Amino acid sequence: MELIHFKNINMFYQNICALRDVNLTIKKGDYVNITGPNGGGKTTLLKMITGMVKPSSGNISMKKDLKIGYVPQHTLFDRWFPIKVKDVAMMGMLNKPKKYFHQFTEEEVKKTEEVMDCLNILTIQDAQITGLSGGQLQKVLFARAVLTNPDLLVLDEPTSNLDSESKDMMNTYLDKISKEVTIVKVTHEENISGSVNKRVYVSQDVKVNAAAGRK
């Protein structure tokens, strides 16, 4: 089943070309790995998937009501806000419509702990976010996005601040959930997971043309 289709997409910021002639199809079950040089347009492409940026020309079609979990490359928020790690992760599950009060179920708490354990952040669940390292914060924000229970997980360099052990843990976890959720991930990592079924190179110098999928 087709989730997203980019047809002849071009993107200019004023006179700067960010994307040139991109054709891309993302199907349900895909695990897409996007690479390319700095400034190649990778983040712009992800922002188009999430609808934050509209193309200068071309056409994007998306499956109706597609639930997207997005972890941006850079997240701006008040790091001094007094909130615990686990509560930030659990915020992902507050995306239920028309609810002003939500009592987390045992199942939701269990799911949160399971995700946090896979990323080795369960041990810091009661820490305040203020004191976290960049890598720890990256893992917490990733957990929050996963806990939104998305159809499509859009990740912009999710391992950029992680040590090698954490990178392995996250990649193993992504392999595991790739059976249930469609993944689009930007990365500079050389070793790409066996579950990745589509590789896309994004740069203004090459035409992006990726149509093959596994489902």
Ligand X SMILES: Nc1ncnc2c1ncn2[C@@H]1O[C@H](COP(=O)(O)OP(=O)(O)O)[C@@H](O)[C@H]1O
Site residues, ligand X (CB under 6 A): 13, 16, 18, 36, 38-44
The interface region with Mg ion, picked from 15-23, 65-73, 87-95, 164-172 by CB under 5 A, is 65-73
End-to-end CA distance of the chain: 7
The rounded distance, in Å, linking the Cα atoms of 215 and 209 is 18
HSE-up of residue 99 (Cα within 13 Å, Cβ side): 9
**4 versus 19: smaller Cβ distance to ligand X:** 19
Q: Residue 16 touches which of Mg ion, ligand X, none (CB < 5 to 8 A by kind)? A: ligand X
Using the Cα atoms of residue 21, residue 51, residue 74 and residue 14 in order, give the sign of their dihedral: positive
Query: 18 touches which of ligand X, Mg ion, none (CB within 5 to 8 A by kind)?
Result: ligand X
Closest distance to Mg ion from the beta carbon of 132 (Å): 22
The binder of 169, among Mg ion, ligand X, none, by C-beta within 5 to 8 A per type, is: none
Q: CA-based diameter of the chain, in Å?
A: 53
Within 23-62, the residues that bind Mg ion by CB under 5 A are 42-43
Q: How far is the CB of 53 from ligand X (least distance, A)?
A: 8
Number of residues located near Mg ion, criterion CB under 5 A: 3
- Strand, helix or coil for residue 161: coil
What gap in Å lies between CA 171 and CA 195, rounded to an integer? 10
Closest to ligand X by CB, 122 vs 192, is: 192
* Phi and psi, residue 128, nearest 5°: -75, 145
Which is nearer to Mg ion, 37 or 194 (by Cβ)?
37
Strand partners, 5: 25, 61
For tokens 């999928």, the residue is: 213
Please choose which of ligand X, Mg ion, none residue 213 contacts, taking the beta carbon within 5 to 8 angstroms, the exact cut-off set by kind. none
Interface residues with Mg ion (CB under 5 A) are 42-43, 73
